[in-house]
Amino acid sequence: MNSSRVPVGTAEFHVSSPKFGAGLEVLGHLTIVVAAALGFFMGWLSCNQAAVVTAVLLLSLTGLAWHRFDGGRHPCFFFLCMLTLFQGGRLIAYGAGGDTEIFRVTLMTSEPFDVSRNVAASTLLLIALSAICIYAPCRWHYRPLSPVRNGSFARFLPYLYFLFCLSVPVQLYKNFCYYQYAQDHGGYLVIFIDHGGMAASIPAAVRAISLISLPAFVGIFVLEQRKRFLRIATAVYFAIAAPILLMGSRGGIFSLVLSLWYLAKVKSGLRARLYSAGLLGAGLVLAGSLIGSFRAGNVESSALAVPSQFIASQGASLNITEVAIAFRGRFAPHIFSNLADELRSAFFPTDHMAYVAGKNFDADVSMFLNPAAYQMGNGSGSSYLAEAYLAGGLWGVAIVSALLGALFHAVHVCARNPLGLFLIAMILPDVLLMPRGGLLDWVSAALRVGLSLLLLLTGWYFYQAVGRIGRILSETNCRRAPKLPPQRLAIEGLLGGNP
């Protein structure tokens, strides 16, 4: 009897051990946060020392996400990377021997100012708590994925290639016109000062056709199994995006690169190698520094900027979280109208020349920091941490972060089929920008993706209808063709087709 119970208990232990390990990891990081908070309030830790602890915690969670999620094959890993860069960039730069004024608000303002010790502590607490709350549900429910099988979805490939080939020259023309317009009207900042004028500089039909290039490319990337064709399609897409990069716009392209890297690893079913991820990260840092130098009047990046300077400049979004905490009474009354406005951001970009107080959090913070610079096209950006804190304080950040973790787990589960992988690839770039973007901007992007999917399905049925009509006409022509007797066919063959 006793011998028969041992395997059962052992099996139960093996089943529960992954969650037991996940619980230990989360509990260990929470213990570090509590100990650091206690040490800070007791005066044993300075602000800069607490910043180093937070940076180590972020890097630790990111490393665990890489290790536990089979080489980063999970959206949680990529989001933690972006959170570490945009909210913890200054902390890491300080640990590497960079600027010692971590918490000084320098973003946009002509007169930098310092925040109080309590505001600095609250900022670090929000970042650390958010990272843990995002990681916990992903780690707790994680299950490895098997390689995606296309199945019946492979029949869409010819249609997607047709759309892609149709839209590539149109997209290239649109991007080049945008680049020319930006060069003639002051450079990169014209995107924010005169977005309507830039859009009106090309015909509406061109803008409409160019909308299908990204969905068609992503569909090809998801379904195509032939590596040569996949590499050609990828090279063509990023080649036509070159004018946008030359303008100095890099955020959307870089987040798309990370999303495609995630897609490739999910499709292959293979664990990514650490050196390949390191090369990708180093390449993006260097490319980001170079592209930032193309911006007219750029003061934060140069082509030869060292990586620590680039990381510190990207970590300037920390200032947004600090300002939201320090001046919560100023911004909190408008936060729900700000969130409502974000639901339309993918369709109606913010116009810096038509500022309305209380409508957009990014605009409100920018006007607060430097009204003149905002009117000239500069902006501070936003942060999901800042907006969640304004909406619900510390508990608001914890709840939003836990919901994000649940969302990433759902995304991971949906990556088991091609349609889910396609939707993930279309939405994930906007989600990854949340550490320096709005809390609900990605929802607006998801609505736009839904519209794109509807257009693709409509085009698919039209494509099938045209194919059926073509087959019917071909069959009709074959039936009407005169049938020659075998003897005449043989004679015509001998005479070279002449009777």
* Confidence at 308, pLDDT banded by 50, 70, 90: low
- State mean pLDDT over 395-413: 93
322 neighbors 118 (Cβ within 8 angstroms): no
What DSSP string describes 302-349? Answer: -TT--HHHHHHHHGGGHHHHHHHHHTHHHHGGGHHHHHHHHTTTTTS-
Query: Which pTM does this prediction carry?
Result: 0.85
Is a pLDDT exceeding 70 seen at residue 80?
A: yes
- Looking at the chain, the whole-number percentage of residues with pLDDT higher than 70 is 84
Token pair, residue 16, equals: 């529960």
Q: Look at residue 488 in the predicted model and tell me its pLDDT.
A: 52
| pLDDT computed for residue 107 by the predictor | 87
Model confidence pLDDT, tens digit, residues 262-297:
888 888 777 777 767 777 777 776 776 676 666 655
Residues with Cβ within 8 Å of 284's Cβ and at least 6 positions away in sequence, in order, are 254, 257
DSSP conformational letter for 105 = B
Q: How far apart are CA 492 and CA 359, in angstroms?
A: 81
